[in-house]
Structure 1
Amino acid sequence: MPTLPSLGLRNRTTRNGRAPDRTPLASTTPSPLSASVVDCAVYIDGERLGGRWTHEEALDEVRRRGTGFVWIGLHEPDEHQINGIAETFELHELAVEDAVHAHQRPKLERYGDTLFMVLKTVRYVANRTFTANSEIVESGELMAFVGRDFVITVRHGKHAGLGRVRRELEQTPEQMILGPAAVLHGIADHVVDTYLEVTETIQDDIDRIEAEVFALRTKVGAEQIYLMKREVLELRRAVMPLAKPLQRLAEGYTPAVPEQVRSYFRNVDDHLTTVSERVASFDELLTTLVDATLAKITLQQNTDMRKISAWVAIISTPTMIAGVYGMNFEIMPETDWKFGYPVALLVMLIACVVLFKIFRRNKWL
């Protein structure tokens, strides 16, 4: 396969038709491929061969034997690091570009005999307090190139390592003997299981928020619920688009997935359906909680306004009486009466007490 063109500058020209200036601003030494390779192994008859392998040596060994496959794990490789592998395994340049730059939706594409699958990985981040910058669901990406005799995984993000998946698969040779499709199933199953774990934890958070919303004194505001709703949306972006790729793998989209592996993908798709239903219910419940919180705030404001109005009415009564006798008219019989002052105070007190009892009976106070 010819050398891949530069992924960042492929066939670009400036507006005046000239080729862009590719003179580097400063001399940099490209990182070696080994810096991004997490593991490279050869599997024959479901068993891992010992020794350390380069990607060329591993592929040569598999093709010399005429059986088995290579599994290479990469973590955030750059363009220079992945180009050598892309040439050796004849990977399509568009898929390679997606694998390097990431930020892709979950999808499944076929380039000749090679499958390219993108999955979103998620991790729950515990927070003691919620702020506008809090992150509950941290997402990453996982790409897989699957060919007749190789699997190349490219991981972006600090979480969702595949070391445990590799160890579990190596302990089940009867599954590994099914080839690269079995590895792809193991990866997809691991990712969907992670979705289930995250949704269970989010369910606990939503239950706690729901209890606080309907408590006598609300400790949670609408902002916190909106934050949770935003993170559920992040999870939804990872989960929902994955349904179609899994269905295509289960339905025989490509001969690279043998019949005995398709049933495994159907099982993963069933688990994903469970996750999708949970995420949809989270979204609906959080919308309901937002409405309930806003309604409770409105009710609380109405209650406060009634209390304020009641106290204003109580205070205005003695103020009115005092205002009448403060007008300094000469002909006011009560002003010459020796009991006028105490009677006026008594009338003020009785009026205030009567109004207080009326408002208390009507639950305004």
Structure 2
Amino acid sequence: MIALYDAQGESLTLDAAHPPEALPEDIVWIDMLRPTREEDALVERLLGIEVPTREDLKDIEPSSRLYTTDQAVFMTASLVCRADGDHPVLTDVAFVLAGKRLVTVRYDEPKAFALFRAAMPRIRGGCTTGVILAVRLFETIVDRTAEILEQAVEKLDGLSFKVFDRQKGPKRRPPHYLEARLLDVALHHRLIAKARDSLASLARVVTFLQSVPVVEADAETKALVLVVSRDIQSLSEHAGFIFGNITFLLDASLGLISVEQNAIIKIFSIASVVFLPPTLVASIYGMNFEVMPELHWHFGYPLALLAMLVSAIVPFFVFRWKGWL
């Protein structure tokens, strides 16, 4: 699908089956979502440039992601997508500055694009050129990333309360409670990792954009690019701080699991201390020797039971007095 936008955000759809001879003069943004080969060929004919394909977007070489030709400036960034679900991913998006127009090629739908389309009519002065539109779009992408980080911090606070929740009374945590929290930590780890990768990719794109002649020639656009660059840097530092909190929660969860396991082992140790002496007494009187005077005692059986009971109680209180239990 190919959507065309003017400076105020008014849109229309370009139909590859009925292609126009030329683009309207007021079009500043050509947004290509999952384009077909016919749509690629149509845009290439109308603009006189090569449109990056899906295979081109997968190329991770910096020299292949950021470059200029005589006709256009090509930039590829990895953006966070599906951040509101349990399986966030990175999707590669191409940004092509061709004359006064911006061309975006994407095969997924990051939420930032929908937010930017809704905000275009409210941008003061409109997006009169492709480079201004690109910078404003980067600004929206950074704002969306900041929103993702804020939501992650809020969820991490709730997760922290769950991990360090003190159970009141004799009620214990349900089985595998902390193991389930580990899965929650892993989901947050994945999301923040994707956000950090996206910010690193955006930082490279914005740094490259600062060296583009059309940006260097316009002081206002250059200042706006610098603001976006500083926002990316501050968000990267904030994402690193969140990452440290996630690492702390992971270590704390593993530590609490170890404490619970040690408590279970401690219970078995106490049981062995309590039952070992009575077992010794029972083993002695279970031997089959002929000469055992206690076998003929009238009170032999209750005395043996008493001996087993005393041998269980005495070590328990001795160990407790020593502070070993």
- Shorter chain as denominator, the TM-score bin is 0.7 to 0.9
Aligned mate of 1:102, from 57, 78, 83: 57
AA partner of residue 148 (structure 2): V
Contact 2:66 2:74 survives alignment (8 Å):
yes
AA partner of residue 164 (structure 2): F
AA partner of residue 313 (structure 1): V
SS at match of 1:120: strand
Counterpart for residue 279 of structure 1: 239
AA partner of residue 161 (structure 2): A
- Cα deviations by residue, 1:301-325 (Å, 9 ceiling, x for unpaired): 2222222122022112212111111
The Cα shift of 1:364 comes to: 6.6
Counterpart for residue 148 of structure 1: 99
SS at match of 2:95: strand
Aligned length, in residue pairs: 308
Contact 1:188 1:268 survives alignment (8 Å):
yes
- Cα deviations by residue, 1:271-317 (Å, 9 ceiling, x for unpaired): 21222112222332322332232233233322222221220221122
The Cα shift of 1:327 comes to: 1.3
Counterpart for residue 90 of structure 2: 139
Contact 1:108 1:118 survives alignment (8 Å):
yes
- Cα deviations by residue, 1:110-130 (Å, 9 ceiling, x for unpaired): 222412222333245556xxx
AA partner of residue 148 (structure 1): G
C-alpha RMSD of matched pairs (Å): 3.1
Counterpart for residue 215 of structure 1: 165
Matched, 1:254 2:213: yes
Contact 2:30 2:103 survives alignment (8 Å):
yes
AA partner of residue 80 (structure 2): V
Query: Which residues in structure 2 correspond to 1:125-204 (within 5 Å)?
Result: 125-126=83-84, 134-135=86-87, 137-160=88-111, 162-172=113-123, 174-177=125-128, 179-204=129-154
**Larger mean Cα displacement after TM superposition, 226-235 or 341-350:** 226-235
The Cα shift of 1:353 comes to: 2.0
Instruction: Provide the C-alpha distance between the structure 1 equivalents of 2:224 and 2:207, rounded to a whole number of angstroms.
Output: 11
- Cα deviations by residue, 1:325-351 (Å, 9 ceiling, x for unpaired): 121323333333333322221121122
Counterpart for residue 241 of structure 1: 201
Contact 1:148 1:256 survives alignment (8 Å):
no
Instruction: Provide the C-alpha distance between the structure 2 equivalents of 1:331 and 1:322, rounded to a whole number of angstroms.
Output: 17
Counterpart for residue 2 of structure 2: 37
Identity %: 23
Instruction: Provide the C-alpha distance between the structure 1 equivalents of 2:13 and 2:273, rounded to a whole number of angstroms.
Output: 88
Contact 2:21 2:46 survives alignment (8 Å):
no
Contact 2:91 2:108 survives alignment (8 Å):
yes
SS at match of 1:74: strand
Instruction: Provide the C-alpha distance between the structure 2 equivalents of 1:231 and 1:48, rounded to a whole number of angstroms.
Output: 31
AA partner of residue 113 (structure 2): L
Instruction: Provide the C-alpha distance between the structure 1 equivalents of 2:10 and 2:297, rounded to a whole number of angstroms.
Output: 116
**Larger mean Cα displacement after TM superposition, 202-211 or 213-222:** 213-222
AA partner of residue 311 (structure 2): A
SS at match of 2:177: coil
The Cα shift of 1:267 comes to: 1.4
**Larger mean Cα displacement after TM superposition, 145-154 or 351-360:** 351-360
Instruction: Provide the C-alpha distance between the structure 2 equivalents of 1:80 and 1:122, rounded to a whole number of angstroms.
Output: 28
Instruction: Provide the C-alpha distance between the structure 1 equivalents of 2:116 and 2:244, rounded to a whole number of angstroms.
Output: 34
Q: TM-score, normalised by structure 2?
A: 0.80
**Larger mean Cα displacement after TM superposition, 292-301 or 98-107:** 98-107
Contact 2:101 2:131 survives alignment (8 Å):
no
SS at match of 2:214: coil
SS at match of 1:176: coil
Contact 1:77 1:100 survives alignment (8 Å):
no
Aligned mate of 2:32, from 64, 74, 78: 74
SS at match of 1:82: helix
Instruction: Provide the C-alpha distance between the structure 2 equivalents of 1:167 and 1:310, rounded to a whole number of angstroms.
Output: 67
SS at match of 2:77: strand
**Larger mean Cα displacement after TM superposition, 231-240 or 316-325:** 231-240
Instruction: Provide the C-alpha distance between the structure 1 equivalents of 2:70 and 2:150, rounded to a whole number of angstroms.
Output: 39
AA partner of residue 350 (structure 1): V
Q: Using a 3 Å threshold, how does the CA distance of structure 1 residues 185 and 104 change in structure 2: closer, same or farther?
A: farther
The Cα shift of 1:167 comes to: 4.6
User: Which consecutive residues of structure 2, in runs of 5 or more, have no partner in the other structure?
Assistant: 167-172
Q: TM-score, normalised by structure 1?
A: 0.72
User: Which consecutive residues of structure 1, in runs of 5 or more, have no partner in the other structure?
Assistant: 1-35, 63-67, 128-133
Matched, 1:89 2:41: no
Counterpart for residue 169 of structure 2: none
SS at match of 1:97: coil
Counterpart for residue 14 of structure 1: none
The Cα shift of 1:173 comes to: 5.3
Aligned mate of 1:334, from 278, 294, 299: 294
Higher helix share: 2
